[in-house]
Amino acid sequence: MKKSSPKIEQSYNDYIKTLKKEKRLVLFYQLLIFIVFFSIWELLSRQEWIDPLIFSSPAKIVSLLFHKVQDGSIFSHAGFTIYETILGFVLGTLCGTLLAAFLWWFPMASRVLDPYLVILNAMPKVALGPILIVVLGPGFSSIIAMGAVISIIITTIVIYTSFRGVDPNYLKVLETFGASRYVCFKEAVLPASFPAIISTLKVNVGLSWVGVIVGEFLVSQQGLGYLIIYGFQVFNFTLVLMSLLIIAIIATIMYQLVDYLEKKIIKS
């Protein structure tokens, strides 16, 4: 805003004010939903209009969480699950990208493997759980494999499509300099696909949570998935709901981190 008439400046200020007002309004309703939802839940549970044994109550969940934080056990469970999830989705994205690179490098292989990719993509990967456990043993490696397997195929398909979609004229520029296929991949195909890779990262965060939690259902002696299945077995639904709450919060944080990373990388 340089040297504009007072009238324009006035309406500009008004415009900024309206924007701020709208933002406050949105935030207000978001908070309202939050408060109303938990108050009604608490009320229904106290009045025993819903079964408190099954649906627990926000107060009970918070007090249990407080207790678990004090004895520190929640940190080891949450840490274990976070570690598995990160490893799972990094591995899934990395293997998926490598597989996509392989398909790009050998167009013949991509034609041959196409129907198999479609089948593997359509198959629900969590159904592989029992096989993974038998092969890798009931423990850590099975859970991570689960977190990775669930995202590999879809990553491969999305990134391979992005590799194929790179403007052939970029490759033409490189070829006029006598570039090899490797140079073409390194200088044009891979960097042009970075946005696609980052956005699959976002999808894979969510997918890996599914894989890891299911994995923990099946084998684990610790972790948030284990807490859920344990709470279910001893009929402690406060524990189940508390674990669910923690998962929701951590998954959101991870998603936001990847989102932040995306904005930073795309900007530069």
> Residue 113 CB, nearest distance to other proteins (Å)?
22
Give the separation between CA 137 and CA 69, rounded to whole angstroms.
Answer: 31
Closest to 82 measured CA to CA, from 254, 258, 244, 259: 254
Please identify, using beta-carbon distances, which residue of 46 and 172 lies nearer to other proteins: 172
Number of chain residues interacting with other proteins (CB under 8 A): 17
Please identify, using beta-carbon distances, which residue of 79 and 195 lies nearer to other proteins: 195
> Residue 192 CB, nearest distance to other proteins (Å)?
8
Residue in the structure block whose two tokens are 């004090």: 70
Question: Could you give the residue ranges of the DSSP H alpha helices within the chain?
Answer: 6-46, 52-55, 58-70, 73-105, 107-122, 129-136, 140-164, 168-176, 181-184, 190-192, 194-219, 224-233, 237-267
What mask of x and - would describe binding to other proteins in positions 173 to 192, judged by CB under 8 A?
xxxxxxx---x---xx--xx
Q: Are 157 and 197 contacting, i.e. CB atoms less than 8 angstroms apart?
A: no
Please identify, using beta-carbon distances, which residue of 51 and 167 lies nearer to other proteins: 167
267 is a contact residue toward other proteins (CB under 8 A): no
What type of residue is 199? S
| Cα 59-62-64 angle, rounded to 5 deg | 110
Closest to 219 measured CA to CA, from 135, 93, 95: 135
172 is a contact residue toward other proteins (CB under 8 A): yes
Please identify, using beta-carbon distances, which residue of 67 and 264 lies nearer to other proteins: 264
Give the separation between CA 99 and CA 90, rounded to whole angstroms.
Answer: 14
> Residue 172 CB, nearest distance to other proteins (Å)?
7
Give the separation between CA 17 and CA 36, rounded to whole angstroms.
Answer: 28
> Residue 177 CB, nearest distance to other proteins (Å)?
4
Please identify, using beta-carbon distances, which residue of 117 and 192 lies nearer to other proteins: 192
> Residue 201 CB, nearest distance to other proteins (Å)?
18
> Residue 162 CB, nearest distance to other proteins (Å)?
14
55 is a contact residue toward other proteins (CB under 8 A): no
Which of 38, 170, 230, 255 is the binder for other proteins (CB under 8 A)? 170
Please identify, using beta-carbon distances, which residue of 139 and 191 lies nearer to other proteins: 191
> Residue 199 CB, nearest distance to other proteins (Å)?
16
Give the separation between CA 85 and CA 93, rounded to whole angstroms.
Answer: 12
Binding site for other proteins (CB under 8 A): 167, 169-170, 172-179, 183, 187-188, 191-192, 194
